[in-house]
């Protein structure tokens, strides 16, 4: 039975989330800077990077600009990779970063597993505490062997109004060496980090991005530290054909024992459209013991026509934590199967499955249609708010 206190708490969570996202959307995205630099296709890297004498490449300008600078990139296609390790504001003006075939990156170092070729193949890499506060907005990013945009071990990054397409090409093409992110992790297949990846990043936001026709859409992970306090809002994740639209998996086996070392938690997924992706519309997964994806909020999204369940929460082994996730106010329609816990035919709106431990979640006030089963539970699953969901007449309400 759902208590009025639980439903009030869920309603307060929705209201607080709406207020937070409204504040983020209204805030000015461009940080105040004391230096402004310009990049143009007709420029030269021997120039001063001024408006009258722009530089030619983004990467050179990033290297010469001091922390706190703003870099404006004029119209054109830039075949390069951009590595940011200091706080910068990068603004595209009909500018495209095309990383076709580029496998540059960082050499192996002891904080980013696995060992081997290192972290390579992304178009844009925002790395480290020095890059905290970086703004990256209004670019087109395409054709990277791994991520289109990877932010790692940093915080308070803003990724705003970009288009990402045809990234993750290393997942389907035989590159040598293979980007490290393309390797499988437990029972989670290799995915090259998806198009936009926040890796052990905190208090950052990705808002109003259009992510389409990649291998996968958005990815939040915890390989080398917690991933929390991030906001994904008002994005489109469309036709990313192999993986999920938005994925919050824990890849750190120490996350349960020591939350300072890992865990994907306290993130907000709000007002996004996830449509036509190969995997789930939104997924929260713990593939092996010690992993944890918990206390995340998935609120007010539209999850339509994805290849697997509209929303999926999976716990695959003992000693994991996928509890505390809140699923409220979403529109879920015409999504697909859950091959891990159910079968290859039943089309499921919201799936919660546990192979071992008890899972406690809130699923309240969602609208579910064009599914065989609205809410499917496998294992010991306790759901708050179950009676407050809305189901089309043709939908089997829930199965346990």
Q: How far is CA 77 from CA 61, 65, 177, 214, 378, in A?
A: 16, 21, 26, 19, 49
Confidence of residue 113 (pLDDT cuts 50, 70, 90): very low
Q: Name the residue ranges covered by the structural domains of the chain.
A: 4-334
**Count of residues for the chain?**
400
Confidence of residue 176 (pLDDT cuts 50, 70, 90): low
For 23, other C-beta atoms within 10 Å of its C-beta total 9
Other Cβ atoms less than 10 A from the Cβ of 257: the count is 12
Task: Please write the tens of the pLDDT for every residue from 209-263.
Answer: 999 999 999 999 999 999 999 999 999 999 998 899 999 999 899 999 999 999 9
Determine contact, residues 280/311, Cβ cutoff 8 Å: yes
Q: What is the pLDDT of residues 19-64, one digit of tens each?
A: 444 444 444 444 444 599 999 999 999 999 999 999 999 999 999 9
Token readout for 31 is 């940080």
Tell me the pLDDT tens digit for each residue of 340-370: 899 889 999 999 999 889 999 999 999 999 9
Strands (E), 119-222: 119-120, 124-127, 135-142, 149-152, 158-160, 163-165, 196-199, 205-207, 210-212, 218-221
Query: Class for domain 4-334, per CATH?
Result: mainly beta
Tokens of 249: 């998996």
């Amino acid at each position: 039975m759902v208590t009025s206190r639980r439903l009030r708490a869920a309603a307060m969570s929705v209201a607080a989330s709406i207020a937070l996202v409204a504040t983020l959307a209204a805030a000015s995205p461009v940080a105040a800077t004391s230096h402004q630099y310009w990049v143009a296709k007709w420029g030269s890297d021997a120039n001063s990077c001024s408006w009258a004498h722009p530089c030619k490449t983004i990467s050179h300008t990033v290297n010469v600009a001091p922390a706190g600078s703003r870099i404006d990139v004029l119209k054109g296609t830039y075949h390069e990779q951009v590595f940011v390790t200091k706080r910068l504001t990068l603004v595209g003006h009909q500018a495209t970063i095309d990383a076709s075939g580029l496998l540059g990156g960082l050499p192996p170092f002891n904080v980013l597993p696995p060992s081997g070729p290192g972290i390579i193949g992304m178009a844009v890499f925002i790395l480290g505490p020095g890059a905290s506060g970086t703004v990256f907005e209004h670019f087109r990013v395409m054709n990277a062997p791994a991520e289109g945009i990877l932010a790692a071990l940093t915080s308070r990054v803003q990724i705003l109004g970009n288009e990402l397409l045809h990234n993750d090409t290393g997942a389907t093409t035989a590159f040598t060496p293979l980007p490290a992110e393309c390797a499988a992790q437990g029972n989670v297949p290799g995915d090259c980090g998806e198009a936009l990846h926040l890796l052990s990043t905190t208090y950052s936001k990705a808002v109003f991005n259009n992510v389409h026709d990649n291998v996968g859409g958005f990815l939040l992970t915890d390989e080398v530290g917690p991933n929390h306090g991030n906001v994904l809002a008002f994005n489109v994740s469309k036709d990313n054909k192999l993986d999920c639209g938005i994925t919050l998996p824990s890849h750190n086996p120490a996350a349960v024992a020591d939350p300072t070392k890992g865990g994907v938690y306290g993130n907000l997924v709000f007002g996004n459209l996830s449509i036509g992706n190969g995997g789930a519309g939104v997924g929260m997964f713990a593939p092996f013991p010690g992993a944890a994806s918990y206390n995340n909020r998935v609120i007010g999204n539209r999850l339509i026509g994805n290849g697997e369940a509209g929303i999926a929460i999976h716990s695959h082994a003992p000693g994991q934590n996928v509890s505390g996730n809140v699923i409220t106010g979403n529109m879920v329609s015409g999504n697909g199967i859950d091959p891990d816990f159910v079968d290859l035919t039943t089309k499921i709106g919201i799936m919660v499955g546990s192979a071992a431990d008890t899972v406690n979640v809130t699923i309240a006030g969602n609208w579910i249609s064009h599914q065989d089963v609205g809410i499917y539970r496998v294992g010991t699953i306790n759901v708050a708010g179950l009676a407050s969901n809305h189901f089309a007449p043709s939908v089997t309400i829930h199965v346990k």
